[in-house]
Amino acid sequence: MHSALPKVLHSLLGRPLLGWVLETALELDPERIVLVTGPEGDAIEEAAREMVGERCELLRAVQDPPRGTGDAVRAGLDAVSVEEGAEQGVVLVLYGDMPLVRASSLSGLLQIQAGAGAGSMALLTAELADPRGYGRIQRDEEGVVIGIVEERDCSEEQRLCYETNPGLYVFDTKALLEVLPQLSSDNSQGEYYLTDVVELFVKANRRVVDLMLDDAEEATGVNSLEQMAEARWALQARILEQHLANGVRIEDPSTTMIDCQVEIGQDTVIQPFCVLRRGVRIGAGCEVGPFAHMRTGAVLKDGAVFGNFCEIKNSTIGPGSKVKHLSYLGDVTIGTKANVGAGTIFANYDGQAKHPSKVGDGAFVGSGTLIVAPNEVPAGATTAAGAVLTKSASMAPGEVWAGVPARRLGASKKSKEDTSSVSQTPQKEEGQL
pLDDT tens digit string along 22-71?
999 999 999 999 999 999 999 999 999 999 999 999 999 999 999 999 99
In one-letter notation, the amino acid at residue 315 is S
Residue 393 to residue 391: CA distance in whole angstroms = 5
DSSP code, position 428: P
| Edge-to-edge order in the sheet of strand 275-276 | 257-258, 275-276, 292-294, 310-313, 328-330, 345-347, 370-372, 388-389
Q: Are residues 192 and 278 in the same domain?
A: no
Judge if pTM exceeds 0.85: yes
pLDDT band at residue 352, thresholds of 50, 70 and 90? very high
Regarding whether 210 and 93 lie in a shared domain, the answer is yes
Residue that finishes a domain, picked among 172, 189, 219: 219
> CB within 8 A of 295, min separation 6: which ones?
277, 280, 311, 312, 313, 314
Domain boundary (178, 197, 219) is at 219
Q: Which domain holds residue 76?
A: 7-219
Residue 416, H or E segment: helix 413-423
Q: Are residues 152 and 271 in the same domain?
A: no
**Same-domain check for residues 130 and 159:** yes
Give the Å distances, CA to CA, from 186 to 192, 282, 388: 8, 57, 75
Distance CA 71, CA 115 (A): 28
Number of domains in the chain: 2
User: What CATH code is carried by the domain that includes residue 89?
Assistant: 3.90.550.10
Assess whether 243 carries a catalytic annotation. no
Q: Judging by DSSP bridges, how do beta strands 15-16 and 11-12 pair with one another?
A: antiparallel
Which residues, 6 or more positions from 231, have their beta carbon under 8 angstroms from its beta carbon?
12, 99, 100, 220, 222
Supply the pLDDT for residue 105: 97
Q: Report how far residue 366's alpha carbon sits from residue 433's, in angstroms, rounded to the nearest whole number.
A: 44
Could you tell me if 246 and 394 lie in one domain?
A: yes
| Digit-coded pLDDT (tens) for 68-122 | 999 999 999 998 865 555 567 899 999 999 999 999 999 999 999 999 999 999 9
- Give me the catalytic one of 10, 293, 325, 355: 325
pLDDT tens for each residue of 231-251: 999 999 999 999 999 999 999
